[in-house]
Structure 1
Amino acid sequence: MLPPTHALRSASTSPKMASTFFFLFLFSVKFLGTAEANPNYREALSKSLLFFEGQRSGRLPLDQRIIWRSNSGLSDGSSAHVDLTGGYYDAGDNVKFNFPMAFSTTMLSWGALEYGKRMGPELQNARVAIRWATDYLLKCARATPGKLYVGVGNPTADHRCWERPEDMDTPRSVYSVSPSNPGSDVAAETAAALAAASMVFRKADPKYSRLLLSTAKMVMQFAIQYKGSYSDSLASAVCPFYCSYSGYKDELMWGAAWLLRATNNPYYANFIKSLGGRDQPDIFSWDNKYAGAYVLLSRRALLNRDITFEPYKQAAENFICKILPHSPYSTTQYTQGGLMYKLPQSNLQYVTSITFLVTTYAKYMKSARRTFNCGNLVIVANSLISLSKRQVDYILGMNPLKMSYMVGFGPNFPRRIHHRGSSLPSLAARSKTLGCNGGFQSFYTQNPNPNILTGAIVGGPNENDGYPDQRDDYSHSEPATYINAAFVGPLSYFAASASSP
């Protein structure tokens, strides 16, 4: 796992347009350099979704494409007399943390909703990736009345071992929240995931969609009625791994925003407004959802012309003004090679999540034919697309090291990723069980990982565009589901754009 450190105006006048073009010129000169051929976005999209098959827990299907993985966690939930098999391991470990898993599911679903028509045949693979998570989240929400299961596997014990998921012999402890031990953050994120997914399956599988939505409503009501942070309720079971550092108010807004989109029920709009003041973040992640909620809610102001959501549109634009490199309000650092740099721990998780928001807001702007201002700088949709493209291209290899940070994409990519299954011999190569300590020889070797986790995006380079490719350097070399999940949307956008005449 990856711990963290933690009114539209017209652009018609020539001085304002000049400032916009100047911004685009500076951006191109500083970050884009000489023109190069575009990466193969469609290949990257396909591989970004394939990665999720390598993270599967449970009994694997016959059409499993990452064939060095095998069944694992088949008794998950048995200690609580429930079936909690399935779902995803969050990163390079063998724990199922529902908080980041649900966020990954929400982002995959959002990508399918916004960009599904651009995905081509990969839309079906996106649905499969989403359903692998939602099948598990449904079990967690419906297994025991009044209780939401939020994780499987003792993280402290797991992190002392280096073993394949197929060999796990650490405790598969089960964790839950309830009225007496609340978890509004993890519950509201679970509701967001189920509500977003319900729209993905609305036409493809109406019965499943209805089940997802009814469960989302139930879980969201639990989050609202029994307020509290799951970090307080579960302590060392989730901290410091996935503490809810930002509190639970952002998840309440995020979950309600997704249920509002799924149902159009004014109850959720009124609840969102009752939450009061809006934070002004300059980050978006599995922990802090404010910026995502603002962009999602701004859709109602931009596309539906609902003026009651104007404050959220303004909050979304304030967020973007903190991201753009030449904005007078920017709080975002960029590396010499042009990569957005937020925090040293798994920086690419922030790059992919923020890139999703920037791309999606630009999409809304284009549909509404709007611009906005960061001070005296006029921002047009294409300036946001340029920033997004630079981040996507950097991750795919257009960077000072000429290294793709997506495993298996391009000729030069990370070979020693911090991932147990990838770094250890598969069952086919070595059927003998490797116990808790049996894999550390492989962990410390300088040899490349024997199994290619195709599509995995690692934590990424440091602030100087450097990447040592060391297995023990988890903050740079560990992949995670939430890095990939947010990348699917922008990849879909550019895959379709690149193939357009």
Structure 2
Amino acid sequence: MAIRLSSSFTLLVIFCFFTIPLFLCNGFPDQPTGQHHHHPRFTRQNYRDALTKSIIFFEGQRSGRLPANQRVTWRRNSGLSDGSAMHVDLVGGYYDAGDNVKFGFPMAFTTTMLSWSVLEFGGLMKGELQNARQAIRWATDYLLKATAHPDTIYVQVGDASKDHACWERPEDMDTPRSVFKVDRNSPGSDVAGETAAALAAASLVFRRSDPTYSKILIRRAMRVFQFADKYRGAYSNGLNKFVCPYYCSYSGYEDELLWGAAWLHRATKNPTYLNYIEVNGQTLGAAEYDNTFGWDNKHVGARILLSKAFLVQKVRSLHDYKGHADNFICSLIPGAPFSSTKYTPGGLLFKMSDSNMQYVTSSSFLLLTYAKYLTSARTLVNCGGTVVTPKRLRSIAKKQVDYLLGDNPLKMSYMVGYGRRYPQRIHHRGASLPSIAVHPAKIQCSAGFSAMKSQSPNPNVHVGAIVGGPDQYDRFPDQRSDYEQSEPATYINAPLVGALAYLAHSFGQL
């Protein structure tokens, strides 16, 4: 973590013809940009392989006591006394990125997006559905611990500045495991709203497979949301020197209140939440011009989510969210009126130099999800006279995912372990240091920096890790010290899980 600012062709045709709705097979004509023109029914990417790997990644990010079925074997147990500084059990959860701190805000967003991926596209995941559920449960088990006390959320374990002064395996961690919380006196409506969203979304994931667990999640989500709404404030006010400049709440907390309410409405169908959205939606969702969706800013996600209630469930009072969602979509369409998105010369959506790939994966997911809602409602997007079809949205999303997987000027896959060429020196402590199996002796805090500075490839291939990605000119130096471009993060992977499931299904790979 670093500072974050805000088989054969014929078979496939036959398979398509008999088993998949026509629009899935016909989709994805490449947009004319002077780039590759594939046959629309053929893709060079193995989305199924990428899907499997995108989920395995989460096992490499696990904190706590690892289960017997752990597939990432270069990791071992870590953080087994987490929470003891405040006499609470906070063992488990995920390290957010390449360091050993557990940041609750991005962890909750990761959980919401993994859950949304499964809710929209889990029916297409086949054998990967169980793995995706396990990735979600690893997070929700932790979030239940973090919210066990009413009107309190434990939002971070580990002192970020001390952690960043070391380069050590999580298994060797000896930096302070300080515990930070929000409560009535030091509120955090952003982190609480996101945690409520995560628990509510996950409750839907487990509704059929584990109804008892699902009920625990939704009850907790309701309680946490009540706390978020009643004691209002940004968590980085009270915890500024611990959470900033890492996961400061730059966009305020209003977006998380709307997002949390939207998820609780979807999970409970309780009119209380619809009423909350109707009464507060305008003030909470005011930043309509804001088209960035990520761990800090949920405005666009909330609009897409609420537009489903209007488009599919015909909740008339949410009519405006279709317009707001359309505005976001129009901002992404190259050449359309109101288009405001920058793309690299090679065609990658480019928002910012630090961890740009998170915006690529989240936008691709939203494009595919909105295309699904539009198709259900048999409607389109109108961008100032330019009509945009669901097929076009899917085509843009596919192009972004294909770029990430290797269809780019460097012919480089930005997912570790996928494709012929991928980053070798990712900014990740555990991956860059020899595993316990190879080097059982402890590697001290500063001793690890020699590995960080070395030009050698990482000894452990962190399969499925998606890095921050290339710069605005499609360049990627593959330097371990370059956290902006070379660090993976859970919230980069989470939305891609859904997008890959959809694409793997569309191309007959699942």
**CA–CA separation in structure 2 for the residues paired with 1:107 and 1:95:** 20
Using the TM superposition, give the Cα deviation of residue 265 of structure 1 relative to its aligned residue in structure 2, in angstroms: 1.0
Using the TM superposition, give the Cα deviation of residue 500 of structure 1 relative to its aligned residue in structure 2, in angstroms: 7.2
Equivalent residue, structure 2, for 1:279: 287
Using the TM superposition, give the Cα deviation of residue 260 of structure 1 relative to its aligned residue in structure 2, in angstroms: 0.3
Equivalent residue, structure 2, for 1:28: 31
Aligned partner of 2:264 among 259, 265, 275: 259
State how 1:67-82 maps to structure 2 within 5 Å: 67-82=73-88
1:133 partner amino acid? A
Equivalent residue, structure 1, for 2:486: 477
Aligned partner of 2:132 among 108, 126, 130: 126
**CA–CA separation in structure 1 for the residues paired with 2:81 and 2:97:** 20
Helix, strand or coil for the counterpart of 1:413? Answer: coil
Equivalent residue, structure 1, for 2:105: 99
Equivalent residue, structure 1, for 2:71: 65
2:4 partner amino acid? P
Using the TM superposition, give the Cα deviation of residue 37 of structure 1 relative to its aligned residue in structure 2, in angstroms: 3.5
**CA–CA separation in structure 1 for the residues paired with 2:330 and 2:213:** 39
2:150 aligned with 1:145: yes
Which is worse superposed, 425-434 or 477-486? 425-434
Equivalent residue, structure 1, for 2:196: 191
2:382 aligned with 1:381: no
Equivalent residue, structure 1, for 2:299: 290
**CA–CA separation in structure 2 for the residues paired with 1:205 and 1:104:** 21
**CA–CA separation in structure 1 for the residues paired with 2:389 and 2:43:** 24
1:192 partner amino acid? A
State how 1:240-255 maps to structure 2 within 5 Å: 240-255=245-260
Using the TM superposition, give the Cα deviation of residue 137 of structure 1 relative to its aligned residue in structure 2, in angstroms: 0.2
* Structure 2 contact 278–317 (Cα < 8 Å) conserved: no
**CA–CA separation in structure 1 for the residues paired with 2:190 and 2:491:** 17
Equivalent residue, structure 2, for 1:304: 313
Which is worse superposed, 270-279 or 373-382? 270-279
**CA–CA separation in structure 1 for the residues paired with 2:127 and 2:465:** 20
2:237 aligned with 1:232: yes
2:220 aligned with 1:215: yes
* Structure 1 contact 188–255 (Cα < 8 Å) conserved: yes
Using the TM superposition, give the Cα deviation of residue 38 of structure 1 relative to its aligned residue in structure 2, in angstroms: 2.6
2:181 partner amino acid? S
> Structure 1, residues 73-110: CA drift from partner, whole Å, max 9, x if none?
00000011111000000000000001000000000000
4+ long deviations beyond 4 Å: none
**CA–CA separation in structure 1 for the residues paired with 2:43 and 2:314:** 39
Equivalent residue, structure 2, for 1:464: 473
**CA–CA separation in structure 1 for the residues paired with 2:313 and 2:392:** 23
Helix, strand or coil for the counterpart of 2:181? Answer: strand
**CA–CA separation in structure 2 for the residues paired with 1:119 and 1:416:** 30
Equivalent residue, structure 1, for 2:173: 168
Aligned partner of 1:41 among 47, 51, 54: 47
Aligned-pair identity in percent equals 58
Which is worse superposed, 461-470 or 271-280? 271-280
Equivalent residue, structure 2, for 1:181: 186
* Structure 1 contact 31–338 (Cα < 8 Å) conserved: no
Using the TM superposition, give the Cα deviation of residue 367 of structure 1 relative to its aligned residue in structure 2, in angstroms: 1.1
Q: CA RMSD in A?
A: 1.3
2:118 aligned with 1:112: yes
* Structure 2 contact 468–484 (Cα < 8 Å) conserved: yes
Using the TM superposition, give the Cα deviation of residue 31 of structure 1 relative to its aligned residue in structure 2, in angstroms: 6.5
2:451 aligned with 1:442: yes
* Structure 2 contact 47–504 (Cα < 8 Å) conserved: yes
* Structure 2 contact 357–492 (Cα < 8 Å) conserved: yes
2:411 aligned with 1:402: yes
Query: TM-score scaled to structure 1, two decimals?
Result: 0.95
> Structure 1, residues 90-137: CA drift from partner, whole Å, max 9, x if none?
000000001000000000000000001111110000000000000000
* Structure 1 contact 76–152 (Cα < 8 Å) conserved: yes
Aligned partner of 2:367 among 351, 358, 362: 358
> Structure 1, residues 278-325: CA drift from partner, whole Å, max 9, x if none?
322111000000000000000011111222111011100011111111
**CA–CA separation in structure 1 for the residues paired with 2:404 and 2:188:** 35
> Structure 1, residues 131-160: CA drift from partner, whole Å, max 9, x if none?
000000000001x33311111000010011
Aligned length: 482
**CA–CA separation in structure 2 for the residues paired with 1:2 and 1:287:** 15
Equivalent residue, structure 2, for 1:3: 3
> Structure 1, residues 438-475: CA drift from partner, whole Å, max 9, x if none?
10010010000000000000000001111000000110
Which is worse superposed, 284-293 or 329-338? 329-338
Equivalent residue, structure 2, for 1:323: 332
> Cα–Cα, structure 1 residues 266 and 333, in superposed 2: closer, same or farther, change >3 Å?
same
1:191 partner amino acid? A
2:453 aligned with 1:453: no
Equivalent residue, structure 2, for 1:17: none
* Structure 2 contact 74–436 (Cα < 8 Å) conserved: yes
Equivalent residue, structure 2, for 1:270: 275
Equivalent residue, structure 1, for 2:89: 83
2:386 aligned with 1:368: no
Equivalent residue, structure 1, for 2:505: 496
* Structure 2 contact 414–423 (Cα < 8 Å) conserved: yes
> Cα–Cα, structure 1 residues 312 and 2, in superposed 2: closer, same or farther, change >3 Å?
farther
Question: Which sections of structure 2, spanning at least 5 residues, go unmatched?
Answer: 7-27
* Structure 1 contact 282–331 (Cα < 8 Å) conserved: no
**CA–CA separation in structure 2 for the residues paired with 1:370 and 1:253:** 25
Query: TM-score scaled to structure 2, two decimals?
Result: 0.93
Using the TM superposition, give the Cα deviation of residue 32 of structure 1 relative to its aligned residue in structure 2, in angstroms: 4.5
* Structure 2 contact 151–224 (Cα < 8 Å) conserved: no
1:55 partner amino acid? Q
Which is worse superposed, 326-335 or 56-65? 326-335
**CA–CA separation in structure 2 for the residues paired with 1:129 and 1:469:** 28
**CA–CA separation in structure 2 for the residues paired with 1:249 and 1:125:** 33
* Structure 1 contact 408–453 (Cα < 8 Å) conserved: yes
> Structure 1, residues 380-408: CA drift from partner, whole Å, max 9, x if none?
10010000000000000111111000000
Helix, strand or coil for the counterpart of 2:180? Answer: strand
Equivalent residue, structure 1, for 2:24: none
Using the TM superposition, give the Cα deviation of residue 28 of structure 1 relative to its aligned residue in structure 2, in angstroms: 1.5
**CA–CA separation in structure 1 for the residues paired with 2:333 and 2:151:** 44
